[in-house]
Chains A and B, each alone.
Chain A
Amino acid sequence: MEHAVEIEGVSKSYGKKLVLEDIGFLIGEGMIYGLIGPSGSGKTTLVKMIVGITEPDAGAIHIFGVKVPNLELLEKVGYMAQADALYTELTGKENLDFFASLYPMKSTARKKRIAYAAGIVNLTAELGKRVSAYSGGMKRRLSLAIALVHNPKLLILDEPTVGMDPELRLSVWTELLHLKKEHQKTIIITTHVMDEAERCDIVSLVREGRILATGTPTELKQAYGAMDLEEVFLKAGREHR
């Protein structure tokens, strides 16, 4: 299997505070890779460096063999930020249309993609409303639709399901699994919900800027003799103390 993402020896500090320390892992193409950890563990910084918004102090990141940051590469990357970065004066459709038009797409293809992305997150009926009238969950859904709108090969989702009801969370996950299986998309997802972590192919447990453990959920549970990932996290955390 080809590697979609290669991360080698990445470190980052803000001022004196070391946020990430010597992170390195590979993400195979066509898998869902989970980054699990509490807030403040450095997940978001790591994700931003993969996208290329933040530059690492040391180390290098390659996506599909191309060194980050690279503008052409960004056409293949769909990013959903932790904070909803939306234009609240515009309607949901206008937001989708704006972001879609930043990518090379014909206008008919764009319309199709917008309809598709809105359908996935179940926002089709709400597209004509201004985002300022959206609830928190609707904004998350729109952000996810924006990340999907240009049909990227690599999806990077930072806490995508926060504020969604269980029903919608299930349908989002069903779609993510579908994207992986049918369209061979690679998906990097950060979460602190353990049952979401269980659905990932590989998870890395992140804490205080370091990776505690990496493996499939089953492997990790076996290695630590744990019932669930929550327990793995606790045990792995104690070992590293």
Chain B
Amino acid sequence: MRILAIVKRIIKQLLRDRRTLALLFFAPLIILTLMYFFFNGETEELVLGTVNVDVWFTAALEESGVHVIPYEEAGRKTVIEHGLDGLLTVANGEMALILLNEEPSVSKALSAQVSTAAMRLAAAPEERPQEIEVQYIYGSADTAFFDVLSPVLIGFFVFFFVFLISGIGLLKERTSGTLERLMATPIRKGELLTAYLAGFGLFAVVQTIIVVAFSILVLDVVVAGSVWHVILINLALALVALSLGILLSTFAATEFQMVQFIPLIVVPQIFFAGIFPVEGLADWLQAIAKVMPIYYAAEALKAVMYKGLGFDAIKGELAALMAFAAVFITLNLLVLKSHRSL
């Protein structure tokens, strides 16, 4: 079996290339761990200075976790000197909020807390404010940003590393002359492509399993849905990355040129992967998102890992990924045609 012979060869070659193996299997774990610590850090307590704010309002703020420091008199300087995140002053029944705004996200959180407290008091003035009962459709009160981010990251790593390694794999075959040499053997181009997809696909499977297992077992990422669905989505994505990597390697003359595709092809995908919500973007940007394979994978992964949805919810995304793979594989066969007409 010629396909089997090539698959065996690819496996042997990769197993002897320790650096590439390390890149494929350990680099994603290191980055994932770093991201975990970055995004899972305890959120700092919000510190708010108050002047002339009544007890009910203070109570409402403290209940929602804001550290309140009352002042007799305070101004902009106090905020800077005392390291406050903001200062709430009431004068003549008018409320004024000064925000430090060193970190916009802190400012937003703080002004949201103040508004909430104000609303709660408005609903029931002169009474102890009522608890608001909160229910979560997805996740829980403990949901951290990383829980939403990790599905996207897992998909991205699978895509990135499989893309790079399969692309460079075929490129090496091209630059070393072995691809041309293979064309002097009775191998069919379809067989060659199949073998490449299978050989590198095998490593993609192992990588996917390692990344998913590490996320769940070590980083404690919650998979609300089925782990098998997670692996299934990643495999579909790996197939897309494989076929795209192999395709683009045709247009690179050296490994360096292959690396140049990263800012062009890979980095833009991060923006559409759902780290930033795509729904809020301009229409034309949303249209671009629809031609990014990672967009579909990230949507599907979020649906399974975070929202805990079943197969029905990811059918469409899986179909989109398979369509991408089919297009890239067809293009591959056409491009390989320039070598030999058979």
Q: Which residues of A come within 8 Å of B, CB atoms?
A: 48, 51-53, 55, 69-72, 74-75, 77, 79, 81, 83-90, 94, 98-99, 101-103, 130
Contacts and interface: CB of A to CB of B under 8 A. Distances in A.
A70 B342 CA distance: 8
Contacts of A99: 185
Nearest to A95: B9
A71 B186 contact: yes
Contact of A101 (B2, B12, B180, B340): B2
A77 B184 contact: yes
Nearest to B14: A89
Contact of B186 (A55, A74, A83): A74
Given A86-B178, A89-B13, A69 B185 contact: no
B186 A94 contact: no
Contacts of A70: 342
Given A51-B184, A85-B176, A102-B187, A90 B9 contact: yes
Contacts of B188: 71
A83 to B, nearest CB: 5
Given A52-B340, A87-B9, A90-B9, A102 B185 contact: yes
B41 interface: no
B277 interface: no
B339 A83 contact: no
Given A53-B184, A85-B177, 5 more contacts: A53-B180, A75-B186, A79-B181, A85-B181, A90-B16
Nearest to A104: B186
Contacts of B5: 98, 101-102
A185 B272 CA distance: 60
Nearest to B16: A89
B17 interface: yes
Contacts of B341: 55, 69
B9 to A, nearest CB: 5
A188 to B, nearest CB: 13
Contact of A90 (B6, B13, B181, B185): B13
Contacts of B23: none
Interface residues of B, number: 25
Contacts of B340: 52-53, 55, 69
B183 interface: yes
Interface in B169-212: 176-178, 180-188
A107 to B, nearest CB: 11
A74 B184 contact: yes
Interface string B83-112: 000000000000000000000000000000
Nearest to B183: A53
20 contacts: A48-B180, A52-B183, A52-B342, A53-B183, A53-B184, A55-B341, A69-B341, A69-B342, A71-B186, A81-B180, A83-B177, A87-B9, A89-B12, A89-B13, A90-B16, A98-B6, A101-B5, A102-B2, A102-B185, A130-B16
Given A53-B183, A69-B340, A72-B186, A94 B177 contact: no
A87 B176 CA distance: 8
Interface in B283-342: 339-342
Contacts of B185: 74, 99, 102-103
B183 to A, nearest CB: 5
A86 B182 CA distance: 10
Q: Which 4 A-B pairs have the closest CB atoms?
A: A85-B181, A85-B177, A101-B5, A79-B184
B186 A52 contact: no
Contact of B177 (A51, A69, A81, A98): A81
A93 to B, nearest CB: 12
User: Max chain A CB contacts within 10 Å: which of B6, B8, B182, B186?
Assistant: B186
Contacts of B186: 71-72, 74-75, 102-103
A130 B15 CA distance: 14
Contacts of A103: 185-186
A98 B12 CA distance: 11
A19 B41 CA distance: 66
Nearest to A156: B184
Nearest to B182: A102
Give the one of A48, A77, A79, A85 with max B CB within 10 A. Answer: A85
Nearest to A99: B185
A102 B8 CA distance: 12
A102 B180 CA distance: 14
B9, B180, B181: residue with the most chain A Cβ atoms closer than 10 Å: B181
Nearest to B176: A85
B184 A98 contact: no
Contact of B184 (A52, A83, A94, A101): A52
B3 to A, nearest CB: 10
Given A84-B177, A85-B177, A102-B2, A90 B184 contact: no
Contacts of B6: 98
A85 B179 CA distance: 8
Contacts of B180: 48, 53, 81, 85
